[in-house]
Amino acid sequence: MEQMELVRLATTGSVDDGKSTLIGRMLYDTKQIFQDQLEAIEDASRRRGSDYVDLALLTDGLRAEREQGITIDVAYRYFATPKRKFILADTPGHVEYTRNMVTGASTADIALVLVDARKGILEQTRRHAFIASLLRVPHLVLCVNKMDLVDYSQKVYDEIADEFRHFAARLDIADLRFVPVSALVGDNVVNGSDNMPWYHGEPLLETMETIHVASDRNLIDARFPVQYVIRPHTMEHQDYRGYAGQIASGVFRQGDEVVVLPSGFTSTIASIDTYDGQLDEAPAGMSVVIRLNGDVDISRGDMIARPHNQPQVGQDIDAIVTWMSDSTTLRRGAKFAIKHTTKTARALVRDLQYRFDVSTLHRIEDATELGMNEIGRVTLRTTAPLFFDEYRKNRQTGSFILIDEVTNNTVGAGIIGGAAL
């Protein structure tokens, strides 16, 4: 069978910039829309009195949202080309939904940020770019939409691209690209455009198909958070003791010398097991079972790494937190449950240093709390040591969530800057 690669996308744009239409267009032109879906939206378009089939309806969600005519939660869409299978996190762009965008961006390989060519770069566009860079989405494509409404003008497009490039220089975006599109008409989405002969780049889909993403993973720092201890208690596997988990980063090989945290015990990898047989080596992303030589006592929440390349170990952590709850706030002195890799502990907010104004990137130093959709820099003290890396080097071991201990709700998403003093 053909080897296809899995690529995760996050799309965002302000309301009415044409995000739903763009996604609908992508599905339609790649022939991922089924007859019954098409009939359903043709029907709905007619009922609403539209002259044309509203492709945006394809990605409309739950009933309440349909009634309000807006998208209010992250929804996931799937489509494939012969080369890639895409998982698209469709996130609404309004400021109220910062948390949804952070959610979508947390796993994305590519962020598609939409702007309306007539409106240009808005405060919201800057916020979307900031969040994508904060969450370290490796590739950002600015899609300048509705080019048909500005006479496909190169000048308009160039001005928008320049302004954005200028702003993005203040952010840390590894790979930034631009494409002029008309989602409604179909220019430069899946197919090229005769209306914009001045544009020499590729259509959006081609970019999405060819951006190199495999090397975005951290393949250097070997980290294996232990998820589950496998002890079969069967006659056939009486003495078997294996550590199950998904490799967070790096590559593990049979025979590798390893260190187990927090004990600091060293050993070597006896085997890397899977249901389908043993592996000589396994890279980031694989779910495997690792067996070690010698008697080691390891449990869930421990981490296996290499002796000469270990994560930081500590209880005082400097992090940027996005607040996701409207029933509580984050304040100095508050306590939460923290989940980091496979480890759960408790965390105390030692300090709230500042809050970001996410549109201007200014720091508000006298902030006393973080409310829903606000982002700020905090210092945490945890009840047990965490084994972590800076988020910018490692998305897996550099991220955590905060959970309200009364309601059990996930209330915060954190990215680690490093150890705090």
Partner 1 sequence: MSATISGVSYQISHLDALEAESIHIIREAVAESERPVLLFSGGKDSALLLRLAVKAFYPARLPFPVMHVDTGHNFAEVLEFRDRIVAELQVELLIASVQEAIDEGRVAEQTGVNASRNRLQIEPLLRAIEENRFDMVFGGARRDEEKARAKERIFSFRDEFSQWDPKNQRPELWSLYNALHNRGEHIRAFPISNWTEMDVWQYIAEEAMELPSIYFSHQRMVFERDGLLMADSDYITRMDHEVVFEETVRFRTVGDMSCTGAFSSTASTVEEIIAEVSATRITERGASRADDRTAEAAMEDRKREGYF
Ligand X SMILES: Nc1nc2c(ncn2[C@@H]2O[C@H](COP(=O)(O)OP(=O)(O)O)[C@@H](O)[C@H]2O)c(=O)[nH]1
The residues of the shown chain that bind ligand X, judged by CB under 6 A, are 13, 15-21, 56, 145-146, 148-149, 182-184
- Which helix or strand (DSSP H or E) is residue 164 part of? helix 154-168
Q: Which stretch binds partner 1 (CB under 8 A): 48-56, 113-121, 276-284, 369-377?
A: 276-284
Least distance between partner 1 and beta carbon 214 (Å): 4
Least distance between partner 1 and beta carbon 142 (Å): 24
Residue pair 123/14 in contact (Cβ under 8 Å)? The answer is no
| 198 in contact with partner 1 (CB under 8 A) | no
Enumerate residues 39-68 that contact partner 1 by CB under 8 A: 40, 60-64
Binding-site partner at residue 261 among ligand X, partner 1, none, CB < 5 to 8 Å by type: none
Residue pair 288/250 in contact (Cβ under 8 Å)? The answer is no
Enumerate residues 381-400 that contact partner 1 by CB under 8 A: 395-396, 399-400
| 408 in contact with partner 1 (CB under 8 A) | yes
Least distance between partner 1 and beta carbon 312 (Å): 18
Least distance between ligand X and beta carbon 148 (Å): 5
With H, G, I as helix, E, B as strand and everything else as coil, classify residue 161. helix
Least distance between ligand X and beta carbon 345 (Å): 40
Taking CA atoms, 107 is separated from 10, 135, 395, in Å, by: 8, 9, 9
- Which helix or strand (DSSP H or E) is residue 125 part of? helix 123-134
CA gap 306, 222 in Å, rounded? 6
| Choice between 115 and 338, CB closer to partner 1 | 338
Binding-site partner at residue 342 among partner 1, ligand X, none, CB < 5 to 8 Å by type: partner 1
Residue of 48, 85, 170, 362 that binds partner 1 (CB under 8 A):
85
Q: Which stretch binds partner 1 (CB under 8 A): 13-21, 83-91, 195-203, 328-336?
A: 83-91
For the record, the structure tokens of 86 come out as 């895409």
Residue pair 108/123 in contact (Cβ under 8 Å)? The answer is no
For the record, the structure tokens of 277 come out as 């047989």
Least distance between partner 1 and beta carbon 2 (Å): 9
| 73 in contact with partner 1 (CB under 8 A) | yes
Binding-site partner at residue 375 among ligand X, partner 1, none, CB < 5 to 8 Å by type: none
**Residue 139-168 contact track with partner 1, rule CB under 8 A, x = bound:** ------------------------------
CA gap 292, 295 in Å, rounded? 8
- Which helix or strand (DSSP H or E) is residue 98 part of? helix 98-106
Residue pair 122/115 in contact (Cβ under 8 Å)? The answer is yes
Residue of 234, 235, 295, 421 that binds partner 1 (CB under 8 A):
234
- Which helix or strand (DSSP H or E) is residue 319 part of? strand 312-323
- Say how many residues make up the chain: 421
Binding-site partner at residue 318 among ligand X, partner 1, none, CB < 5 to 8 Å by type: none
How many residues bind partner 1, per CB under 8 A?
A: 79
Count Cβ atoms below 10 Å from residue 148 Cβ, excluding itself: 18
Bridge partners of 11, per DSSP, are 90, 112
For the record, the structure tokens of 385 come out as 């040591």
Least distance between partner 1 and beta carbon 77 (Å): 7
Residue pair 69/62 in contact (Cβ under 8 Å)? The answer is no
Q: Which stretch binds partner 1 (CB under 8 A): 47-55, 113-121, 198-206, 332-340?
A: 332-340
CA gap 121, 179 in Å, rounded? 14
**Largest pairwise CA distance in the chain:** 75
Residue of 155, 210, 220, 232 that binds partner 1 (CB under 8 A):
232
| Choice between 267 and 396, CB closer to partner 1 | 396
